[in-house]
């Protein structure tokens, strides 16, 4: 039975989201991790609000990158262990499409969720409310880009025993431009300046990875599953 591209996307997306919401504990873990990591900094440095505001962009961004990488490991793992992934590869549908759907579903429950809770964390770091829209927009673009990069990494490490550390090792260097521009945009928003330049750059990176990363990730999966 042949299925159109749109319905492949829709079916895989729905399956992934259903599976995620059946395990709400796993869904919450990266968010709690995000909260805990950001708590470490005031405790470790100083609770002084002016200092916190200065470091807020870096802390928020580094914590967000780590939190969404943490869950990246599971992108293909579960499906690979129970054999679903092989069936998806053999289904005759474009693997790239399947990767797109899986990554988007993953981003919706990890990256987008991080964006939603980020104002809470930002408030504790003394980020002014006026900076929230820019911060959330930059985090949204950044975590989506990271999901695409992470999909390549997850595809490359899917069959490996200690894949999760290796995944961070290979994805984090690639993600450094995100940290630079994301933190810069947030920093400018806090200072009341225009963050357009950094946001455009984040958007460009997002479009770039959205175009190419699914192809690279599907090649990675074919290599590791073969």
Partner 1 sequence: MWTWFYRLASPPSVYRVAGVFAPWLLLSAAVFIVYGIIDGLAFAPPDYQQGDAFRIIYVHAPAGWLSMFAYTLMAIAGAVGLIWRIKMGHAVAAAVAPVGASFTVLGLVTGSLWGRPMWGTYWAWDPRLTSELILLFLYVGVISLRAAFEDPNRGDRAAALLAIVGVVNVPIIHYSVQWWNSLHQGATVAKFAKPSMPGSMLWPLLAMFMGYMLFFFGVLCMRVCAEILNRERQASWVREVVRA
Would you tell me which residues interact with partner 1 (CB under 8 A)? 152, 156-157, 159-160, 162-163, 166, 169-170, 172-174, 176-177, 180-181, 184, 201, 205, 212, 216, 219-220, 223-224, 226
Residue 119: partners with Cβ closer than 8 Å, 6 or more residues away: 132, 135, 136
- Which helix or strand (DSSP H or E) is residue 185 part of? helix 163-190
Residue nearer to partner 1 on the CB measure, 111 or 150? 150
Shortest Å, Cβ 170 to partner 1: 4
Residue 51: C-alpha distances to residues 45, 149, 150, 186, 223 (Å): 9, 32, 32, 15, 47
Shortest Å, Cβ 63 to partner 1: 19
The phi, psi pair for 48, rounded to 5°, reads -65, 125
Residue nearer to partner 1 on the CB measure, 35 or 180? 180
Shortest Å, Cβ 160 to partner 1: 5
Residues 142, 149: Cα–Cα separation, whole Å: 11
- Which helix or strand (DSSP H or E) is residue 178 part of? helix 163-190
Residue nearer to partner 1 on the CB measure, 20 or 224? 224
Residue nearer to partner 1 on the CB measure, 31 or 198? 198
């Amino acid at each position: 039975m042949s299925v159109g591209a749109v319905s492949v996307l829709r079916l895989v997306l729905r399956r992934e989201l259903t599976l995620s919401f059946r395990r709400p504990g796993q869904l919450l873990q990266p968010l709690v991790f995000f909260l805990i990591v950001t708590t470490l900094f005031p405790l470790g440095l100083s609770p002084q609000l002016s200092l916190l505001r200065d470091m807020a962009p870096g802390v928020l961004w580094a914590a967000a990158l780590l939190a969404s990488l943490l869950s990246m490991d599971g992108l293909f793992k579960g499906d690979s262990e129970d054999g679903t992934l092989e069936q998806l590869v053999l289904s005759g549908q474009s693997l790239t499409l399947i990767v797109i759907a899986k990554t988007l579903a993953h981003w919706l429950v990890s990256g987008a969720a991080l964006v939603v809770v980020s104002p809470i964390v930002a408030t504790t770091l003394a980020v002014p409310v006026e900076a929230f829209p820019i911060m959330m927009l930059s985090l949204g673009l950044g975590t989506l880009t990271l999901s695409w990069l992470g999909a390549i990494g997850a595809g490359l490490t899917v069959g490996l025993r200690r894949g999760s550390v290796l995944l961070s090792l290979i994805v984090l260097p690639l993600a450094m431009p995100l940290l630079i521009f994301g933190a810069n945009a947030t920093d400018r928003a806090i200072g009341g300046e225009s963050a357009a330049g950094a946001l455009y750059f984040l958007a460009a990176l997002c479009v770039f990875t959205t175009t190419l990363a699914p192809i690279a990730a599907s090649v990675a999966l074919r290599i590791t599953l073969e």
